[in-house]
């Protein structure tokens, strides 16, 4: 919240006065570009849409390490007539943004290289691609307008773009027909309802979105990049990398955590980032006293703001 507050005159006055009294450094105003702003939707499905998950920025709080988590049903993955907890189960999608990068972490039972020995045309049912929708429009409209961004992160999947990486100007397509999959989200939802499942949260879910959300055209199954402009590569993250970045490794019970990061500069260069002002106060050695005073000042300022 504080990031969005303008630096007001009262804050300057108070901080200057207390700063002189207690030796606190003056606040410095800095501007940063943020890509993951309120309402932006990120989603991914498997190649046959037997599970999927979406994260809506701002729907859940961002934790102290900068991560936001979308928790999917742990029992809505479909493997034939078996529903829940199987190899296709997705558990969570998490996003984090730093000054330079966007981090993505998927927790699921399905490995990055998918599942072999299936009825898919290529024998393998794997991950679809990951989509970012900055447009504020529903998914199909954004796709029709070439305004999605997408990441192909699974080198063995049926994406129509050839290289792993981040793409702009993206349109989406469905790979379910060649992966023994559902022709629509609606058909998947119906299958889960018909064959049932057991365990907690035993119903179809799309993470932060309801399974029947009209964000997606329920009669479609768009899960792969059809076309786009290659922007930048991605770097896969190890468990140690994730741990260092403050990701909660034990939150979800999937067998695999697939994680990567990429530079957000190409997204910002295309005008999809917003400038936010941050106020950085660096306390002098007076330490706790100084922080207490800053907290008091900011609280006073906040109260003042919300009374207006």
Residues found near Ca ion in the complex (CB under 5 A): 47, 51, 72-73, 76, 90, 120, 122, 124, 158, 179, 205
Q: Which is nearer to Ca ion, 183 or 274 (CB)?
A: 183
Q: Which is nearer to Ca ion, 103 or 216 (CB)?
A: 216
Q: Which is nearer to Ca ion, 40 or 110 (CB)?
A: 110
Q: How far is the CB of 52 from Ca ion (least distance, A)?
A: 5
Cβ atoms within 10 Å, residue 39: 11
d(Cα 44, Cα 130) in Å, to the nearest integer? 5
Q: Which is nearer to Ca ion, 257 or 301 (CB)?
A: 257
Q: Which is nearer to Ca ion, 179 or 223 (CB)?
A: 179
Q: Which is nearer to Ca ion, 47 or 129 (CB)?
A: 47
Question: 158-182 in b/e burial notation, b at 16+ Cβ within 10 A?
Answer: bbebeebbbbbbbbbbbbbeebebb
SS3 call for 297: helix
CA distances from 293 to 4, 11, 104, 160, 307 (A): 21, 12, 37, 56, 21
Cβ atoms within 10 Å, residue 29: 11
Q: Which is nearer to Ca ion, 216 or 272 (CB)?
A: 216
Q: How far is the CB of 83 from Ca ion (least distance, A)?
A: 10
Q: How far is the CB of 162 from Ca ion (least distance, A)?
A: 15
Sheet holding 90-97, edge to edge: 67-71, 90-97, 101-108, 256-263, 235-236
Q: Which residue is nearest to Ca ion (CB)?
A: 72
Which residue shows structure tokens 């997408």?
150
Q: How far is the CB of 113 from Ca ion (least distance, A)?
A: 11
Q: How far is the CB of 91 from Ca ion (least distance, A)?
A: 6
The token duo for 264 is: 């957000």
Q: How far is the CB of 86 from Ca ion (least distance, A)?
A: 10
d(Cα 268, Cα 166) in Å, to the nearest integer? 13
d(Cα 259, Cα 209) in Å, to the nearest integer? 21
Q: How far is the CB of 246 from Ca ion (least distance, A)?
A: 24
With 0-12 CB in 10 A as exposed, 13-18 as middle and 19+ as buried, what is 40? buried
The token duo for 293 is: 């005073």
Cβ atoms within 10 Å, residue 9: 8
Q: Which is nearer to Ca ion, 120 or 170 (CB)?
A: 120
Measuring CA to CA, which residue among 124, 60, 131, 49 is closest to residue 90? 49
Q: Which is nearer to Ca ion, 210 or 289 (CB)?
A: 210
Q: How far is the CB of 190 from Ca ion (least distance, A)?
A: 14
Q: How far is the CB of 122 from Ca ion (least distance, A)?
A: 4
């Amino acid at each position: 919240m504080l990031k969005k507050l303008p630096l007001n005159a009262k804050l300057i006055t108070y901080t200057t006065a207390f700063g002189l009294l207690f030796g606190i450094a003056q606040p410095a105003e800095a501007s940063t570009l943020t890509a993951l702003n309120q309402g932006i939707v990120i989603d991914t499905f498997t190649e046959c849409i037997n599970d999927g998950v979406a994260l809506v920025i701002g729907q859940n709080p961002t934790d102290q390490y900068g991560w936001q988590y979308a928790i999917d049903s742990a029992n809505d993955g479909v493997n034939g007539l078996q529903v829940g907890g199987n190899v296709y189960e997705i558990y969570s999608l998490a996003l984090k943004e730093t000054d330079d990068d966007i981090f993505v972490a998927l927790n699921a039972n399905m490995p990055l290289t998918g599942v072999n020995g299936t009825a898919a045309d290529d024998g393998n049912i794997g991950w679809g691609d990951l989509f970012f929708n900055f447009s504020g429009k529903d998914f199909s409209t954004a796709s029709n307008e070439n305004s999605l961004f997408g990441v192909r992160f699974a080198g063995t999947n049926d994406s129509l773009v050839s290289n792993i990486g981040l793409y702009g100007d993206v349109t989406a397509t469905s790979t379910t027909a060649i992966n023994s999959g559902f022709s629509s989200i609606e058909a998947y939802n119906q299958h889960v309802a018909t064959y049932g499942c057991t365990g907690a949260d035993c119903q179809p879910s799309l993470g932060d979105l309801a399974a029947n959300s009209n964000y997606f055209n329920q009669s479609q199954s768009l899960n792969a990049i059809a076309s786009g402009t290659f922007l930048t590569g991605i770097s896969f993250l190890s468990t140690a990398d994730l741990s260092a970045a403050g990701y909660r490794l034990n939150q979800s019970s999937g067998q695999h955590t697939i994680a990567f990061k990429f530079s957000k500069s190409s997204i910002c260069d295309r005008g999809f980032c917003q400038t936010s002002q941050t106020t950085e106060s660096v306390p002098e050695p007076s330490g706790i006293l100084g922080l207490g005073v800053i907290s008091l000042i900011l609280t006073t300022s906040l109260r003042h703001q919300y009374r207006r």
